[in-house]
Structure 1
């Protein structure tokens, strides 16, 4: 699972605006350009004055730079609006179930924890549940009738039939074909979204018992 980036405040634009003195030192304004042009005209060689084409070329370059600066400001404003809109849309996912790749499952206080695997062919898929110390607590098998999605559900009980405490548990899956060929499978588990956060690289979901995952990892929303 991924963790949230440490630059959330900067991505939200909450780090404070730069000082006016800093902005002035970074770039030349229109007045600075006109002052330079005036000084250039005052100190040119009277016998070799600046040609009109060179003067017009400098004006065109300044106009182009101004246009690029204006475009950058527009793009930055649009990016900020998109980030805000993304957060608002992500807030609608709070309280919903999502399906995403994970090597852990979150066992609720009551009921099952569920998910799927992608079987490469028909056969049997064996799941192993482990506790926080990596020790096996339960193993169960689900048949795969054909290649594709195979759903699984763990009732939260150990090998002795005792209900285990709620919390995160590890999970692995192994597929065995009818000819005995085995392969490890990635597991996709269902988790409930508790909150949404914004990082510099996009939206992150805070999942109950599973930690944090980027929105791009979500395969399905329930």
Structure 2
């Protein structure tokens, strides 16, 4: 009798415990009914919709299948028209793949071009600019004057960054064409100029009239940047900045 009484006394406690725990269980993932819980479908996480608006080949064939299934049986789609649609999509898909391959090829070519241009580091290149840099390590400024025809004398003017005349001298232009010219980095009084950028201007008489002549200068290559597929490799020049490799006119031995 005592054993039965102890069981009967414990039963209300266990029932009340299950009653208090069942609401929390039903609020999460159970219903309280073992049969319903066993056949209940598992909850799945919501899947974010894709933002890609482009049609793929699978989308095209899905649309084509829908079109064929909903066509009028008395007026079926013409075979030539269907083949034309499939050919058009295949052409567009092939062009997209070709564009991707070209972009990859441009990236590889840019890297290869930069690797080849790295051999110019430490050398001098001729650029279409009349501004060059004079430093303590290299006080000589070399350039090339382009003339349309031969002329007796070409006046060369060296100007600082503010446009002030530093030195003026005359070179022979009787050979015509591209004439090499050099400035030793000294002013009109024979004193070394301060380090910085200087412009080399040139003028001469053509048919008796004075005319400004285009001047290109040599610059020292300090480093090479990859650049982009549009610009190609970029040469970083001392005191001048970056120029595209395609703008280089010539490369000097020293």
After TM superposition, the score normalised by the length of structure 1 is 0.80
Whether 1:219 and 2:249 are equivalent positions in the alignment is yes
**Secondary structure of the residue that 1:202 maps to in structure 2?**
coil
Whether 1:64 and 2:129 are equivalent positions in the alignment is no
Q: 1:204 aligns with which of 225, 229, 234?
A: 234
Unaligned runs of 5+ residues in structure 2 are: 1-48
Contact 2:142/2:217, CA 8 A, preserved across alignment:
yes
Q: Take 2:133 and 2:246, find their aligned partners in 1: how far apart are those partners? A: 20
Structure 1 consecutive aligned stretches of length 4 or more whose deviation exceeds 4 Å: none
Q: Corresponding residue for 1:113?
A: 141
Alignment of 1:144-159 (within 5 A): 144-159=173-188
Q: Which is helix-richer, 1 or 2?
A: 2
Q: Corresponding residue for 1:143?
A: 172
Deviation at 1:168, TM superposition (A): 0.5
Unaligned runs of 5+ residues in structure 1 are: 1-19
**Secondary structure of the residue that 1:162 maps to in structure 2?**
coil
Q: Take 2:79 and 2:127, find their aligned partners in 1: how far apart are those partners? A: 65
The structure with the larger Rg is 2
Structure 1 residues 154 and 60, CA gap change in structure 2 (3 angstroms):
closer
Q: Which has the higher contact order (CA 8 A, sep 6+)?
A: 1
**For residues 35-55 of structure 1, what are the alpha-carbon distances to aligned partners after superposition, in whole Å with 9 as ceiling and x for unaligned?**
112211222123322233333
| Number of aligned residues | 200
Q: Which is strand-richer, 1 or 2?
A: 1
After TM superposition, the score normalised by the length of structure 2 is 0.71
CA RMSD of aligned residues (A): 2.2
